[in-house]
Homo-oligomer: A and B are copies of this chain.
Amino acid sequence: MAALVYEMELQPAFHDIDVMEIVWHGHYVKYLEIARCALLAQLDYDYPQMRASGYGWPIVDMRLKYVRPATFGQRIAVRCEIVEWECRLKINYLVRDVQTGRKLTSAYTIQVAVDMVTQQMQYVCPPVLWQKLGVQP
């Protein structure tokens, strides 16, 4: 079974900071995506491979809980982990301050497979996902 977890470090850019001097809440969606893509690339199933497999994987549900704000130049760690893969691809996220380890944000995203030819949403994940993840449905 492949590693279904990935953790990376990021630093919020100047253009991510709002007038309250914290990262604007919407920019975390970018941080989640950067970590998710890195995780999926590690599994050889990032966006280009998804497309080549005939499936799009739109986000259908996303939730973020903001515990503490992040600021300009702060070193933050974004950890993501695949926790569901049978009928949908669910990934949990934890954003922490690198120095103290304190939780800043937690989140999840849920994606479903859509057949790119028929545009039909799949109610069970296609086997290509399980092969890439090295898991059993």
* Chain A residues in the interface with B (C-beta under 8 A): 13-15, 17-22, 24-26, 29-30, 33-34, 37, 41, 46-48, 56, 58-67, 69, 72-73
Contacts and interface: CB of A to CB of B under 8 A. Distances in A.
A16 to B, nearest CB: 9
B72 A61 contact: no
Contacts of A63: 61-64
A29 B30 contact: no
Given A48-B73, A58-B20, A66-B61, A13 B30 contact: yes
CB-CB nearest 7 A-B residue pairs: A26-B29, A63-B63, A25-B59, A17-B19, A60-B66, A62-B64, A61-B65
A17 B14 CA distance: 11
Contacts of A37: 13-14, 73
Given A46-B73, A48-B72, 17 more contacts: A13-B30, A13-B37, A14-B24, A14-B33, A14-B37, A15-B24, A15-B29, A18-B19, A19-B47, A20-B56, A22-B58, A25-B62, A26-B30, A29-B29, A48-B73, A58-B69, A59-B66
